[in-house]
Amino acid sequence: MNIPKLKHTENNNFFLMAGSCAIESRDLAFEIAEKIKGITDQFGIPYIFKGSYRKANRTKLDSFTGIGDITALEILQEIGNHYDLPTVTDIHESQEAEMAAKYVDVLQIPAFLCRQTDLLAAAARTGKAVNIKKGQFMAGVSMKFAVEKILHENPSAQVFLTDRGNSFGYGDLVVDYRNIPEMQAHGVPVVMDCTHSLQRPNQTSGVTGGQPKMIETIAKAAIAVGADGIFIETHPNPAIAKSDGANMLPLDKLEELLEKLVRVRQAVV
């Protein structure tokens, strides 16, 4: 698969990681992939389809975790083959790396696991690209150690770093845009997660909240600062999404947002 490389794409555009939070069904995954591919082809935006095959970090015991590991991974593989797209999914434990790598092109390390040496090493050994989300508790400068762990195991590995905000009290996040150039200084592309950075975790209801109306603000600022990529979770109807619906972008609003971001990118490069 053609995975975006360091810093610049062919037309000097940003790249996009996007999809629903979790793989809920084959039909929904294909609907989202087809819609986004059409938009990104129109704007010349390199696209990586995102979907979690399993949700391990859930607030409540009875929260949705997935439709079955292999079932979801096979859907990711099918989407990648059908649309000729690279795909990305999360892994949570070292033994998952080899399994997931058989089906996807990029292994993603969740933010709260970004310091887990064994997990990073296992991802690196698969030979797949690795996207490490910066912990909500970490500064961008400290992420150099996560990059070093990957490159120690696989010096030729392709690594991305993704910012998703920093904890602000117990139930909110803030984005410090200094983290983008600070993480780029580690020699890797940096992605802004425009949806998870707007989460409002630890709600007393047991369901994570969010501020989806601010997605455009976060995304525009990230592109203006020079982010190499944008990460967005999207769904045709976030209100019925089985995971993270409170901070997802409605799928029908994605085209307008990406058109604006392309114009911002053209203005700042």
- Residues 87-142: tens digit of each pLDDT: 999 999 999 999 999 999 999 999 999 999 999 999 999 999 999 999 999 999 99
Percent of the chain beyond pLDDT 90?
76
Query: For residue 151, is it within any domain?
Result: yes
Q: What pLDDT is recorded for position 260?
A: 97
Query: For residue 263, is it within any domain?
Result: yes
Query: For residue 22, is it within any domain?
Result: yes
208: which residues sit within 8 A by CB, 6+ positions away? 59, 199, 200, 201, 202, 244, 246, 247
For 157, the domain range is 15-268
Query: For residue 6, is it within any domain?
Result: no
Query: For residue 249, is it within any domain?
Result: yes
Largest CA distance in the chain: 47
Query: For residue 31, is it within any domain?
Result: yes
Query: For residue 209, is it within any domain?
Result: yes
Tokens for 174?
């803030």
CATH number at residue 63: 3.20.20.70
Overall domain count for the chain: 1
pLDDT at 39 over 90: yes
pLDDT at 229 over 80: yes
| Mean per-residue pLDDT over the chain, rounded | 90
Query: For residue 115, is it within any domain?
Result: yes
SS3 per residue for the chain: CCCCCCCCCCCCCCEEEEECCECCCHHHHHHHHHHHHHHHHHHCCCEEEECECCCCCCCCCCCCCCCCHHHHHHHHHHHHHHHCCCEEEECCCHHHHHHHHCCCCEEEECHHHCCCHHHHHHHHHCCCEEEEECCCCCCHHHHHHHHHHHHHHCCCCCEEEEECCEECCCCCEECCCCHHHHHHCCCCCEEEECCHHHEECCCCCCCCEECHHHHHHHHHHHHHHCCCEEEEEEECCHHHCCCCHHHCEEHHHHHHHHHHHHHHHHHHC
Question: Model's pTM, two decimal places?
Answer: 0.91
pLDDT at 170 over 90: no
Tokens for 124?
């690196």
Q: What pLDDT is recorded for position 6?
A: 39
